[in-house]
Structures are given as structure tokens and as C-alpha cells.
Amino acid sequence: MTEACPTPLRGPRRFGPWWIAALAVASMAALSWNLEALSGWNGFAAAWDRLRTYVGAFTAPDLSWPMLALCSTLTLETLSVAVLGVACGLMLGYPLALGACRCLVVGEEPAPRPVRWLQVGVLEACRFTLDVLRGVPDIAWAIVLANLTGVNAITGVLAIGISTAGIFGKVLSEQWDNVDPARYAAVRSSGATRSQTFFYAVQPLAARATLSFLLMRTECAVRNASVIGVVGGGGLGAQLWDEYTDGSWSRVATVLLALLAVTATTDLVSNLVRQRLRVDPNHPRRQGAIDRSRQGWRRVQVLGSVLALVAAAAWSLTPAMVAVAAELQRIDWEFAAPYTLGLFTPDLSPAALGSALRHAVVPVAIGLLATVAGAALAALLVYPASVAFQLEPHRFLGENPPTHTRILRGLALVATRGLALVWRGVPEVAWVIVLAVFFRMGVTPCVLAVALHSAGVLHRVFTETVDNLDYRRLERTGGTCRAQVFMYGALPRVWPDWRTYAFFQFEVNVRLGIALGVVGAGGLGHMFKMNLDWRQHGGAATYLWAMIVLTIAIDRLSRWLQLTRLRC
């Protein structure tokens, strides 16, 4: 068995880091860095003065009643956009995820060649649809839809729903395919059909990872709802951009604090939901046997709360829905046709294709650099932020540290988790605005912004994978201290999940690189919006489809690497 797959096992371990380092160096060389703030003492002093003035605004934010009332209204609008967007994305993405799941659609049993062709055709059609949906960033969807639905919150709902559907469909299908077949072999051997095996074995086994991802994407949707406001999606993002362009730093500080409060609250609520729905009888922090009736009642409570939240969000956006319906009725569809059908007829001239290829380098380079930096930073902070290794190591090591040691560990946990919360709590565009005060608008603040945000997001999922480990498996590691158990017991078990999350974050960051092109990073996003503004629909379509092709290439590479790992 050890010789079944020798080359793939040795290859990634030996050459993977070198390839990543080489690509990172190439990415740094490919970008046009704006480093005037670091080019000399005068430039640094001017940049530092700008940053000091900006940071000083946070000591005296605009807390007047009109500003607080405005932020409260915009906060409710942002949350409503995010909740409805996620609900629409889940309803659209789940059936597509079923069609994109290999273990459900294709399976392992032999089949006649025509049937197999049909199965593979359905699989690839669903995957291609998901690629198209998420290949265009939500901010680009908002730009396209704003030409039809206008500048309002419903544009943000539709943009988030379309993009989220593609993301949900991809990740859910991969999580289902990642379940080890040995874990549900007993169900298959009992004579269960492929669909029965999926719904009664595969999906329940992936339930914890699915729940964590759904909650994480809901948090991301809250941030994305604020970002989309920059290009017409309403909410806090529109106000943030308006205040930034006006130079009202005290009001910018107020909006940023509102965004951070919203994200922190969303993070807290998602943790509460995760705890209410925890059903694993082997989880280390479970006390006693599972009370099935109580667990069922908790599920009903959570489901009822979610439905009530969606209904409240829909009710709060009813005026916007009415306005959009009226707007659609007034549209002259003959005039609007180029804005819609024109995006399906790209300019395929060599010059246009060459330009799309050159500008695709920018989001890829931003995505790679930000992912490498973010993943490294997140991984370094997992150990001090882990509940298992800071608060509960006595459960698998049997240690009994003094009270002051426990207090210090608890403070380290709170500090690192709080830092990561700030990193992911501030949207990428907001980080760009903060960093652009020092560096000026360009590639540099965009790369740093995506890296900080990625570190916060990856830190969350990296830490959860460690804390979800069964303590009995850590106990069998045989280490004599926490660091040894973490290095030789926890890391080898969570590394495949970390790698999967990091690669998915790379795809997300590429889309972010495209989206940030609208606000100064350049590349595909900048060229797409510029062509659309100048009504060059063929050119806009070329860059739009370049985004989709780029996403398809990354997705197929991700799935190929995953299949390679599973075969090994």
C-alpha cells in the first residue's frame, strides 16, 4: 500500500514550496508597485502625516445623532442585503451542488458508456454553471445589474445571490466528494442506492464542515454587502466611499466602526448557532449523551430564527423591491439590449484577447501573494488562538497548570482571536481605503488589504479545524507538551483541510483582485468597468469572459489536485 502512489506523495512535499516561492517572486515582479511612501524620507514623512491625521479621526469619530441614525439605517440595509443574498444563493447553489458532486452523479459503480457520458455531461454542465456564477465577482455583477435594476439594495441582493450560489455550489460539492468512501462503505454494502448513500451517509458526514462554511460565507456576505455599496448596492459601503472621497475622516471612522461592530456581532451569532447545532457525540467538549428531543428542538429554534430573519430582511427591503419592479417596467429593452446581450458577444480579435491575457496577470498575482502571506500569518496565530491548546490541554495531556498560567493563555487566546476578527471584520475595500492613506491608491494597498483580510478569514477556519479534532486522537500522539502535540498530532491531521481552504481562498482572492481593479488595482476589473462606462460592450464582454475562464482554470486545477490527493 505504501508504494501505490509514490511520485504524487513525494512530489508536492519536495517541490510544492519551491513552486509557490517561485510563483510569488514572479507575481511580485509582474505588479506595478506604488512605493513612493517608502522611496525616501520626505515621501515617508508625508505619508506618515497623512496616516496620523487619519488615525487621529478614530479618537474623535462623528458620534452626532444624525450620523448615528444614518449608520443604524444603513447597517440594517446592509444586513438585509446580506441575508437575502445568502438565502437566494443557497436556494440556487444547492441543486447545482448536487449536480456537481461526483459521488452522487457519477459514483464508483460501473455503467454503460452512454450512461457514463450522460453522467459526466451533467456533472460538467453543473460545474460550468457554477464557474460562470462565481467567476464574475459580486461587485462586477452589481455593475452589470445596476444598468437594469438601478442603484439600490436589490442590486446588491442579486449580485451577492448570484456570486454566492457559485461559491456554495463549488465548496459543498467538493466537501461531499472529500468524504472518505471508507466511512460510508457500510451503507453502500447494505444495498443502498447512490442517492440514499449520499443523503443518509455522505451529506451527514460532511455536515460539520458544511455548517462552518455556510456560517463563514454569511459573515463574508455581510462584508461583501458593504463593498458592493461602492458601485451602487446601497448600505454602509456607499456611505463609506462618499465620506472617503469627501475627505471626512471623522465620518469615515464612524462608518468603519459600524462595519466592525456588524462583523463582530455576526461572528458572535454564528458561533452561537454553531454551538446550538453541534451534534457530534464524540466531540471533546460534549458532556454526557445526546438528548435527541432537545437537539431536535434546538434545530427547530435555529430554523425558525433563520426564516424569521429572512422574512424581516425581505420586509425591510420591500420599498426597494417595488422601486426595482417599477424601474424594470420603464426600461426600453431595445435600448437596454446591448447592456445584456452585448456581454455574450465578446471581441475576439487578437488585440482584445492579448489585452485580456495581460490584464489577467494582475488579479492572479494579487491573489497568489495575498494568499501566501495571509495563510502564513493565519497559521502562525492558530496555536495561541486554539481553545484545545490554550484552555483545555489537560483533557489530552493531563497537565494541571497554575491559575496565572491559565489566565495568560486565556489572554493570548482572546488577543489573537480579536486581532483576527479585526482583520476579517473590516471589508477589503475599507482596508484599501485605510492603507491608501499611507501608500496612495494603487496595487500596494490592494495586496496588503487582501492579505490582511485573508489572514483573518483563514485564521477562523484553521483554528476551527484544530479545535474540532477528537482529543482522544491527540492523546494518542504521545507528546509530553502542548507544542509537541500540536506539531506532531494536530498539524498532520488538519493539514489537508488547511490546504483545501487556502486554495479556495486563492480563488476568492483572485476575484477580489478583479473587484479591486475598480478602485485602483488595475487589471481585468479596471478594464471591464472602463469599457462598460464607454459603452464598448464587445470589449467589456471580453474581460468579463476572461474572468470566467480564469475561474474555470483555477477550479479545474483545484479539483485535479484534490483528486490526486485522494488517490494517494
Res 449: pLDDT: 92
307-343: b or e for each residue (b if 16 or more CB lie within 10 Å)? eebbeebeebbeebbebbeeeeeeeeeeeeeebeebb
Residue scoring higher pLDDT (76 or 108): 76
d(CA 487, CA 378): 15
Q: Is residue 3 part of a domain?
A: no
E runs forming strands in 152-282: none
With 60 as the cut, is the pLDDT of residue 289 above it?
no
Res 559: pLDDT: 65
Q: Is residue 428 part of a domain?
A: yes
Q: What percentage of the chain exceeds 90 in pLDDT?
A: 15
Task: Provide the pLDDT confidence category of residue 232 given band limits of 50, 70 and 90.
Answer: low
CA distances from 411 to 223, 364, 417 (A): 27, 38, 10
Considering the domain architecture, whether residues 180 and 268 belong to the same structural domain is answered as yes
Q: Which of 158-162, 298-302, 403-407, 558-562 has the lowest mean pLDDT?
A: 558-562
Considering the domain architecture, whether residues 358 and 223 belong to the same structural domain is answered as no
Res 455: pLDDT: 95
Q: Is residue 509 part of a domain?
A: yes
Rounded mean pLDDT, 439-465? 90
What is the tens place of the pLDDT at every residue in 421-442?
Answer: 888 877 787 788 888 888 888 8
Work out the burial of residue 193: count CB atoms within 10 Å of its CB; fewer than 13 is exposed, 13-18 middle, 19 or more buried.
exposed
* Cβ contact 499:458 at 8 Å: no
Res 11: pLDDT: 40
Question: Nearest 5°: phi and psi at 261?
Answer: -65, -40
Considering the domain architecture, whether residues 259 and 403 belong to the same structural domain is answered as no
With 70 as the cut, is the pLDDT of residue 147 above it?
yes
Q: Is residue 43 part of a domain?
A: no
Cα angle for residues 24, 26, 30 (degrees, 5° grid): 115
What is the tens place of the pLDDT at every residue in 326-356?
Answer: 877 877 777 666 666 667 778 888 888 999 9
With 60 as the cut, is the pLDDT of residue 321 above it?
yes
| Domain termination residue (choose one: 331, 363, 383) | 331
Question: Nearest 5°: phi and psi at 169?
Answer: -60, -45
Task: Provide the pLDDT confidence category of residue 98 given band limits of 50, 70 and 90.
Answer: very high
Which residue bears the cell 502512489?
5
What is the tens place of the pLDDT at every residue in 508-552?
Answer: 898 888 878 876 678 888 888 888 778 787 888 898 888 888 878
Considering the domain architecture, whether residues 302 and 271 belong to the same structural domain is answered as yes
CA distances from 161 to 157, 218, 328, 443 (A): 6, 11, 19, 28
Considering the domain architecture, whether residues 384 and 503 belong to the same structural domain is answered as yes
Q: Is residue 5 part of a domain?
A: no
Q: Is residue 32 part of a domain?
A: no
**What's the number of CA atoms in the CB half-sphere (13 Å) around residue 321?**
10
Considering the domain architecture, whether residues 297 and 345 belong to the same structural domain is answered as no
Considering the domain architecture, whether residues 175 and 75 belong to the same structural domain is answered as yes
What's this model's pTM, rounded to 2 decimal places?
0.76
* Cβ contact 15:7 at 8 Å: no
Rounded mean pLDDT, 138-164? 83
| Domain termination residue (choose one: 331, 353, 388) | 331
Helix-then-strand count for the chain, H and E: 28, 0
d(CA 114, CA 91): 31
Which residue bears the cell 448596492?
233
CA distances from 126 to 159, 184, 217, 434, 506 (A): 20, 25, 21, 40, 22
Treating both helix axes as pointing N-terminal to C-terminal, what angle do 249-276 and 403-425 enclose, rounded to 10 degrees?
120
With 50 as the cut, is the pLDDT of residue 8 above it?
no
What is the tens place of the pLDDT at every residue in 242-267?
Answer: 887 777 878 888 888 888 788 778 87
Considering the domain architecture, whether residues 321 and 376 belong to the same structural domain is answered as no
Res 379: pLDDT: 93
CB atoms near residue 55 (< 10 Å): 14
Domain of 290?
A: 61-331
With 70 as the cut, is the pLDDT of residue 3 above it?
no
Considering the domain architecture, whether residues 212 and 247 belong to the same structural domain is answered as yes
Res 557: pLDDT: 77
Provide the domain count of the chain: 2
Task: Provide the pLDDT confidence category of residue 501 given band limits of 50, 70 and 90.
Answer: confident
Res 562: pLDDT: 59
Q: Is residue 55 part of a domain?
A: no
Joined together, the cell numbers standing for residue 417 give: 482571536
DSSP secondary structure letters along 173-224? HHHHHTS-GGGGHHHHHTT--HHHHIIIIIHHHTHHHHHHHHHHHHHHHHHH
Considering the domain architecture, whether residues 354 and 303 belong to the same structural domain is answered as no
CATH of the domain at 520: 1.10.3720.10
d(CA 346, CA 527): 14
Task: Provide the pLDDT confidence category of residue 479 given band limits of 50, 70 and 90.
Answer: low
Q: Is residue 313 part of a domain?
A: yes
Question: Nearest 5°: phi and psi at 233?
Answer: -95, 5
Task: Provide the pLDDT confidence category of residue 291 given band limits of 50, 70 and 90.
Answer: low
Question: HEC string of 100-114?
Answer: HCHHHHCCCCCCCHH
Rounded mean pLDDT, 361-376? 93
Considering the domain architecture, whether residues 552 and 467 belong to the same structural domain is answered as yes
| Domain termination residue (choose one: 296, 331, 366) | 331
d(CA 221, CA 147): 22
Considering the domain architecture, whether residues 137 and 199 belong to the same structural domain is answered as yes
Rounded mean pLDDT, 309-321? 89
With 60 as the cut, is the pLDDT of residue 12 above it?
no
